[in-house]
Amino acid sequence: PHVGVFDTAFHQTLPPHAFLYAVPYDLYTGHGIRRYGFHGTSHRYVSEAAAEMLGRPPAEVNVITAHLGNGCSITAVQGGASVDTSLGMTPLEGLVMGTRSGDIDPAIVFHLMRKLGMDADEVDDLLNRRSGLLGLSGVSNDMREVLRAAEAGSDRAHLAIEVFCYRLKKYVGAYTVVLGRVDALVFTGGIGENSADIRSRTCAGLERLGYVLDAGRNAADSRAPRDVAAADSPIRILVIPTDEEALIARDTARMARGM
């Protein structure tokens, strides 16, 4: 048997008020223009792993999961179901990414076409392949190289990091309001799992919302799932390595048993 895995599947629980864009409704009904979300397998895996770390079933846990790599997305998970996510109809919306812009004013597209004479393919290339960390820093799409450049004195690299973390922080705040009660914030993906600096910059200022990072725990070098929140933090801050392949294998085995 063959099993098809769709990275959008976890986000099929999004309510209409979260997945609809404020454009003519017939663009949704006739052309499927809506938010679909991506990285669903990763968000599901780490949200379930977070519930296990908290010692509670997924149905009783509300978590915010941040998948941060060359592609980045953040998801609000309520009782095991995705209720909002940053990536939209395509993987271009939302957070700042390695080469993708994330959220921008849509009219920038018209400006680029009218004022700079760019066609649709050129704008597509600019926003998907020449923006994000690469476009802002002028250094790289790799956060490790951008961090090194910032340490070496690059103002643009420092600014790229600030924009990246500021955008992420805004989404954490927004999804905290969406969920009402948050049990854990989860960092995953290459950046989320390995960059203590990005985790620290993101959580700075979120203490009033209940996110209190422990500097020592956060800085500890480990590849294991771990809690890096302060002991008295109202909300746990977890670092969980994602394992999409394991989740796909488990789902495949379950489906095979049911055939």
Split into its structural domains, the chain has a count of 1
**What is the C-alpha to C-alpha distance for residues 168 and 74, in angstroms, rounded to an integer?**
8
pLDDT at 1 over 80: no
Tokens of 217: 């725990």
**What is the C-alpha to C-alpha distance for residues 177 and 193, in angstroms, rounded to an integer?**
25
Give a yes or no: residue 68 inside a domain: yes
Per-residue pLDDT of 17-71, as tens digits, reads 999 999 999 999 999 999 999 999 999 999 999 999 999 999 999 999 999 999 9
pTM: 0.96
Contact call for residues 130 and 92 (beta carbons, < 8 A): no
Tokens of 80: 């095991």
Give a yes or no: residue 182 inside a domain: yes
Confidence of residue 259 (pLDDT cuts 50, 70, 90): low
Identify the CATH number of the domain in which residue 231 sits. Answer: 3.30.420.40
Confidence of residue 258 (pLDDT cuts 50, 70, 90): confident
**What is the C-alpha to C-alpha distance for residues 208 and 190, in angstroms, rounded to an integer?**
27
- Among 195-199, 244-248, 249-253, 254-258, whose mean pLDDT is lowest? 254-258
**What is the C-alpha to C-alpha distance for residues 74 and 144, in angstroms, rounded to an integer?**
20
Contact call for residues 98 and 141 (beta carbons, < 8 A): yes
Residue 15: the pLDDT is: 99
Give a yes or no: residue 113 inside a domain: no
Q: Is the dihedral of CA 100, 101, 102, 107 positive or negative?
A: negative
**C-alpha distances in angstroms, 110 versus 17, 54, 107, 116?**
27, 47, 5, 10
Give a yes or no: residue 107 inside a domain: no
Give a yes or no: residue 45 inside a domain: yes
pLDDT at 142 over 80: yes
Catalytic positions, please? 7
Confidence of residue 138 (pLDDT cuts 50, 70, 90): very high
Give a yes or no: residue 193 inside a domain: yes
Task: Tell me the H-state helices in the chain.
Answer: 16-19, 26-31, 40-54, 107-115, 120-129, 132-137, 143-151, 155-179, 189-194, 196-203, 215-219, 244-257
Residue 118: the pLDDT is: 99
Residue 189: domain span: 9-97+139-257
Residue 2: the pLDDT is: 83
Give a yes or no: residue 121 inside a domain: no
Whole-number mean pLDDT of the chain?
Answer: 98
Give a yes or no: residue 130 inside a domain: no
